[in-house]
Amino acid sequence: MRLDVLRRLQLPASPPSLLLRAAWKYGVAVGVAAVVLTAGGVDRVQPNGHALATSVLPTTVPCGTIATDLNDPTTATWTATKSPYLGTASPYNLPVSSTNNADPTVQPCDAIVVPPDVTLKIDASQGPVQIFSHGAAIDVHGGHLLVLGASEINSVLFDAEPDVASWTGITVDASDASHAGNASLAFASIQHAHERRDVHARPDGPHQAASLWAGRGQ
């Protein structure tokens, strides 16, 4: 497993409020500061220079293996304006996990899965991208996670839905000996997840070792 950290900021004084997370989910023009997998998350908030698209709906990501792009079975591209799920884009809403499921009529889902030989590319170059989870993890199971935040404004946020306390977070693991799984993130923030793992960036590059925080902001 490999995690490449392209940028990270200092820890903030406090986590973002529930009100801010709920407002950003519904497209209010605020932006999150650039952060890569830090325990506290967002360092500062700035006005968002790119309004979210109004011609698309929020994406409800189904349980299990993620959908890939049309005519490209090896890539799933999530942006502010389009996704493999036709007519939808940011925010991306992940399913409810068994831990958070209070409705017996709802089938829980513990993870959406990035399988071997597939890259989940989250590209914020067209505007900020938000991923909100009702508990389900993003499981990079032998695949690749490529988070392309473009700046402190056009960044990527991973967070719990406002109606749940936390979500599992991002896991990266091998599916077999030839598919180790890896993740590379820039200008991204992970908030309100509940596990912590220490992951080291590749030793042959300029990136520093980093702690992959999937824990709630303190």
Report the DSSP beta bridge partners of residue 78: 122
Element (H, E) at 145: strand 144-148
CB 61 within 8 A of CB 28: no
Question: What pLDDT, on the 0 to 100 scale, is given for residue 34?
Answer: 33
Question: What pLDDT, on the 0 to 100 scale, is given for residue 77?
Answer: 98
Question: How crowded is residue 169: how many other Cβ atoms within 10 Å of its Cβ?
Answer: 25
Question: What pLDDT, on the 0 to 100 scale, is given for residue 54?
Answer: 58
Question: What pLDDT, on the 0 to 100 scale, is given for residue 56?
Answer: 83
- pLDDT tens column, 177-207: 999 999 999 999 999 987 644 343 343 443 3
With a cut of 70, which residues of the chain have pLDDT below it? Answer: 1-54, 195-218
Question: What pLDDT, on the 0 to 100 scale, is given for residue 204?
Answer: 43
Question: What pLDDT, on the 0 to 100 scale, is given for residue 39?
Answer: 34
Q: Which candidate, 78, 74, 76, 104, places its Cα nearest to that of 93?
A: 78
Report the DSSP beta bridge partners of residue 133: 94, 160
Q: Which candidate, 85, 90, 81, places its Cα nearest to that of 67?
A: 85
- pLDDT tens column, 111-138: 999 999 999 999 999 999 999 999 999 9
